């Protein structure tokens, strides 16, 4: 009987996930302005990366710590952060947007009074956004591989795409965490936006984490240790390692970074699960008005 119940719950969870993805893809196709915004963001990010590679160069200390020195490598470093950031942004923001959208339309209560899988409900917008982001990621990825001279290197392509997948999975947990914050604290989008921007800069999207200590001997190590706490940091670091190869100096040995990435992702899953139970308990005790 217990096995049948588990099987039914898994089947129902996948049904919720599939319906949610279909709903989100329909909405994205209906409102095409959003696609234009994603395209412009990617294009502006790549153009900014080109300007950075032409106008700026890394100081000798940063070049020595990262293994990046040429203008071409700086360009690849920057647009790699932009390209990978498209998926991390989707994983981070999509669950919160789903919560806020259903609060606006008054449909969130229906989710919490039915025995549907709440995790599947929150994961569906992340997966649908990730599928759409592939449209914009693939051209940027091809440019990165072409400029780097590894467009035909199947090992580099396979390992970097593996890191992209790991980024999506790891950031899903963080996205659910932000969604629960949105439920517990209304109008929390400004806080989430601040934390998202802080994470992007702190975790190495546009500035190497390895360079923090040489930039400032006092605050640099503090920022570096804070960056160690987020799975985001290792996603960027591993993506650049498999892009540049052994000339790129990672924060830790590669296998250690994969382990830390897995552990920190699981930690955020546990925290997000705890917050979800907290919201459900509060809804039962206080009523659905909290939603």
Q: Any idea which of 105-114, 136-145, 209-218 has the lowest mean pLDDT?
A: 105-114
SS (H, E, C) the chain: CHHHHHHHHHHHHHHHHHHHHHHHHHHHHHCCHHHHHHHHHHHHHHHHHHHHHHHCCCCHHHHHHHCCCCHHHHHHHHHHHHHHHHHHHHHHHHHHHHHHHHHHHCCHHHHHHCCCCHHHHHHHHHHHHHHHHHHHHHHHHHHHHHHHCCCCCHHHHHHHHHHHHHHHHHHHHHHHHHHHHHHHCCCCHHHHHHHHHHHHHHCCCCCCHHHHHHHCCCHHHHHHHHHCCCHHHHHHHHHHHHHHCCCCCCCCCHHHHHHHHHHHHHHHHHHHHHHHHHHHHHHHHHCHHHC
Residue 22 has pLDDT above 80, yes or no: yes
- From the list 128, 134, 133, the residue with the least C-alpha distance to 98 is 128
Return the pLDDT at 6. 56
Residue 39 backbone class (left: φ over 0; alpha: ψ -120 to 50; beta: rest): alpha
Residue 37 has pLDDT above 80, yes or no: no
Confidence of residue 98 (pLDDT cuts 50, 70, 90): confident
Residue 100 has pLDDT above 70, yes or no: yes
Return the pLDDT at 241. 92
- From the list 247, 256, 240, the residue with the least C-alpha distance to 203 is 240
- What phi and psi, each to the nearest 5 degrees, are found at residue 253? -55, 145
What are the Cα distances from residue 130, in Å, to 1, 24, 189, 273? 37, 11, 21, 22
Compute the average pLDDT of residues 260-269: 82
Return the pLDDT at 187. 67
Per-residue burial over 10-48, b if 16 or more Cβ lie within 10 Å, else e, is: eeebeebbeebbeebbeebeeeeeeeeebeeebeebbee
Report d(CA 232, CA 89) in Å as an integer: 11
Pair of tokens at residue 268: 């955020």
Return the pLDDT at 242. 92
Extents of the domains making up the chain: 2-290
Pair of tokens at residue 223: 């920022």
Note whether 161 and 130 are within 8 A (CB): no
Return the pLDDT at 254. 92
Per the model's pLDDT, the better-predicted residue between 283 and 50 turns out to be: 50
Note whether 140 and 83 are within 8 A (CB): yes
Confidence of residue 284 (pLDDT cuts 50, 70, 90): low
Pair of tokens at residue 26: 């329909």
% of residues, the chain, pLDDT over 90: 5
Residue 269 has pLDDT above 80, yes or no: no
Q: 192: how many CB neighbours lie within 10 A of its CB?
A: 17
Residue 5 has pLDDT above 60, yes or no: no
| pLDDT tens-digit series, residues 123-179 | 888 888 888 888 888 888 888 889 888 888 899 889 988 888 888 877 777 777 777
Confidence of residue 291 (pLDDT cuts 50, 70, 90): low
């Amino acid at each position: 009987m217990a096995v049948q119940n588990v099987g039914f719950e898994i089947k129902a969870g996948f049904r919720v996930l599939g319906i949610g993805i279909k709903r989100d893809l329909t909405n994205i196709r209906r409102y095409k302005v959003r696609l234009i915004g994603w395209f412009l963001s990617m294009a502006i990010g790549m153009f900014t990366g080109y300007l950075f590679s032409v106008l700026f160069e890394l100081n000798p200390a940063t070049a020595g710590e990262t293994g990046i020195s040429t203008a071409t490598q700086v360009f690849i470093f920057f647009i790699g952060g932009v390209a990978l950031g498209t998926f991390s942004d989707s994983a981070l923001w999509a669950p919160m947007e789903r919560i806020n959208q259903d609060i606006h339309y008054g449909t969130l209560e229906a989710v919490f009074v039915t025995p549907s899988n709440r995790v599947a409900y929150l994961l569906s917008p992340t997966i649908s956004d990730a599928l759409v982001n592939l449209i914009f990621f693939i051209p940027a990825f091809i440019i990165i591989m072409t400029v780097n001279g590894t467009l035909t290197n199947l090992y580099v392509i396979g390992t970097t795409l593996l890191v992209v997948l790991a980024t999506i999975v790891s950031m899903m947990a963080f996205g659910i965490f932000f969604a629960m914050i949105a439920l517990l604290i209304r109008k929390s989008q400004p806080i989430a936006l601040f934390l998202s921007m802080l994470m992007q800069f702190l975790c190495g999207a546009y500035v190497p984490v390895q360079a923090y200590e040489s930039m400032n001997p006092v605050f640099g190590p503090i920022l570096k240790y804070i960056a160690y706490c987020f799975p985001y940091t290792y996603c960027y670091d591993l993506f650049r390692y498999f892009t540049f190869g052994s000339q790129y100096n990672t924060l830790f040995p590669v296998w250690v970074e994969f382990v830390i990435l897995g552990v920190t992702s699981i930690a955020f899953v546990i925290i997000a699960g705890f917050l979800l139970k907290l919201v459900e308990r509060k809804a039962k005790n206080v009523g659905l008005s909290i939603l």
